[in-house]
């Protein structure tokens, strides 16, 4: 198989790119996949090489061919100068934040952020002298009013993974650039297949690859892709923290990448059909899905995203635990679990009202988040309709 130049690769469609990325059969004796390279110790060919740390690989934590394959595949997809691998999506968020903040700095954090990222700011960053201000996800260029002389980073998550607000990334990046502030985004929902943060000027793009890239609910992994400006700081922090993920999980993620475009296309189309169906149900207050024209973020979504993934939420016409339980317990095809992005459908109840500080979440009923997997949407819709009918029989 001929290896392609960067120029040739730049013309490829994403489906093709994800089949080829990170593979070099000349280096794997013709075998299609890079195997999991296990190892801490790397031996040097001679004393001079050892004294100069001159080896392609120097120590297990610092790199091996399996890591290289995923890092280069992900950088290619993101259009990044480089990528680091973390042992979870949460660790990718914290490593990225630590790479651009120090004591005395101020961080602007979106109010709709994934809760453990919020906890990291409130617990760890605070303890180490970094102040966090939460901002309304609908704030676009208006974020400038929140900037202080010591604001060093703006963190976005778009759409929010529970409440699905879409952020005006270009407007926020324009303000950040004016003030020389680093921008970070948790891009787990879209992945770079549907939204390429670095093309929009974002410095650090974070993905909980536990979700779509690995795709099979059997791996925890996080990836941070950086532009040339942010990469040295990211690599230094990643190395100094001693962050490392074992080769089996990296191998499984590489395997997942090959089918990620196909899976996401199918899951995205099925989720949108199911969201549109739920929107018409008399037992549903509203559906939070940015690809629905009724969504407040729809115009921004249409402007910036190439498509939607398979995660969205909706609000049940329900006010008691008994009603929510009737709905969830009646589902037969949806598991109840706190993750998403895998091949199997999931439903989880959630309440974002207690922890928002810059904005109020007023669902008007009881909220449920759905991960749409690879089952037939016909079966999933029948399952949801049956559960909604069961819920409607329970008195409020
Ligand atoms: C938006 C988002 N970011 C980050 C994470 C963290 O990923 P992990 O569970 O791999 O730590 C999650 C997990 O649910 C998430 O939904």
| Three-class DSSP category at 135 | strand
Distance from C-alpha of 95 to C-alpha of 207, rounded to nearest angstrom: 12
Tens digits of residue pLDDT in 169-212: 999 999 999 999 999 999 999 999 999 999 999 999 999 999 99
Question: Mutation test of ligand 1: which of 195, 208, 212, 222 has the most ligand atoms closer than 8 Å to its C-beta?
Answer: 208
Burial class from Cβ neighbours inside 10 Å (0-12, 13-18, 19+) for residue 36 reads middle
Flag whether 284 is in a domain: yes
| Within a domain: 38 | no
Protein residue whose Cα sits closest to atom 8 of ligand 1: 89
- The region of weakest confidence among 4-8, 50-54, 243-247, 265-269 is 4-8
Closest CA to 159 of 369, 376, 357, 317: 369
Domain that holds residue 280: 260-392
Residue 80 has pLDDT above 90, yes or no: yes
The strand pair at 106-110 and 151-157 is best described as parallel
Whether the per-residue pLDDT at 5 is higher than 90: the answer is no
In this predicted structure, what is the pLDDT of residue 79?
A: 96
Residue 198 located in a structural domain: no
8: confidence class by pLDDT, cuts 50, 70, 90 = confident
First to last CA, the chain: 64
Set 114, 134, 135, 212: catalytic member: 114
Indicate whether 301 belongs to any domain: yes
Domain of 329: which CATH number?
3.90.1150.10
| Residue in this structure with the two tokens 């050892």, named with its chain if needed | 50
Number of separate domains in the chain: 1
**Do the domain assignments include residue 316?**
yes
pLDDT greater than 90 at residue 276: yes
With 0-12 / 13-18 / 19 or more C-beta atoms within 10 angstroms meaning exposed / middle / buried, residue 193 is buried
Please give the share of the chain, as a percent, with pLDDT higher than 70: 100
Span 301-357, pLDDT tens digits: 999 999 999 999 999 999 999 999 999 999 999 999 999 999 999 999 999 999 999
Distance 151 CA to ligand 1 centre (A): 25
How does residue 9 score in pLDDT terms, banded at 50, 70 and 90? confident
Phi/psi at 391 (5° precision): -65, -40
Q: Is residue 285 part of a domain?
A: yes
The verdict on residue 271 lying in a domain is yes
This prediction's pTM: 0.97
In a domain, 19, yes or no: no
Shortest-distance atom of ligand 1 to CA 209: 10
CA dihedral 89, 90, 94, 97 (to 10 degrees): 60
């Amino acid at each position: 198989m001929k290896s392609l130049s960067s120029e040739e690769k730049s013309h490829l469609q994403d489906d093709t790119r994800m089949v080829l990325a990170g593979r070099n059969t000349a280096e794997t004796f013709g075998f299609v996949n890079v195997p999991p390279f296990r190892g801490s110790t790397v031996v040097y060919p001679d004393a001079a090489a050892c004294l100069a740390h001159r080896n392609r690989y120097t120590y297990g934590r610092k790199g091996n061919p399996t890591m290289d394959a995923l890092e280069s595949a992900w950088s290619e997809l993101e259009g990044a100068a480089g990528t680091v691998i973390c042992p979870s999506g949460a660790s990718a968020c914290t490593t990225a934040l630590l790479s651009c903040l120090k004591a005395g700095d101020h961080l602007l954090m979106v109010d709709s952020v994934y809760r453990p990222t919020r906890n990291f700011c409130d617990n760890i960053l605070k303890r180490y002298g970094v102040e966090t201000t939460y901002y309304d996800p609908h704030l676009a260029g208006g974020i400038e009013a929140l900037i202080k002389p010591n604001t060093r980073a703006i963190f976005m998550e778009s759409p929010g993974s529970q409440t699905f607000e879409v952020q005006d990334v270009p407007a926020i990046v324009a303000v950040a650039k004016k003030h020389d502030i680093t921008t970070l985004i948790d891009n787990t929902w879209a992945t770079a297949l549907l939204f390429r943060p670095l093309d929009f000027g974002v410095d650090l793009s974070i993905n909980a690859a536990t979700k779509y890239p690995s795709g099979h609910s059997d791996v925890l992994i996080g990836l941070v892709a950086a532009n040339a400006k942010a990469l040295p700081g990211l690599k230094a922090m990643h190395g100094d923290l001693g962050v490392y993920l074992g080769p089996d999980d990296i191998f499984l993620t590489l395997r997942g990448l090959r089918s990620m475009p196909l899976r996401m296309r199918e899951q995205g189309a099925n989720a949108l059909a199911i969201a549109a169906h739920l929107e018409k149900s008399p037992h549903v207050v509203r559906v939070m899905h940015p690809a629905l024209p009724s969504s407040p973020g729809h115009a921004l979504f249409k402007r910036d995203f190439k498509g939607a993934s398979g995660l969205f939420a909706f609000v049940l016409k329900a006010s008691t635990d008994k009603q929510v339980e009737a709905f969830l317990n009646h589902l037969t095809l949806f598991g109840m679990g706190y993750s998403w992005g895998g091949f199997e459908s999931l439903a989880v109840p959630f309440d974002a009202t207690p922890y928002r500080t810059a904005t109020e979440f007023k669902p008007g009923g009881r909220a449920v988040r759905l991960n749409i997997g690879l089952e037939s949407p016909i079966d999933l819709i029948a399952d949801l309709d049956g559960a909604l009918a069961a819920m409607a029989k329970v008195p409020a």
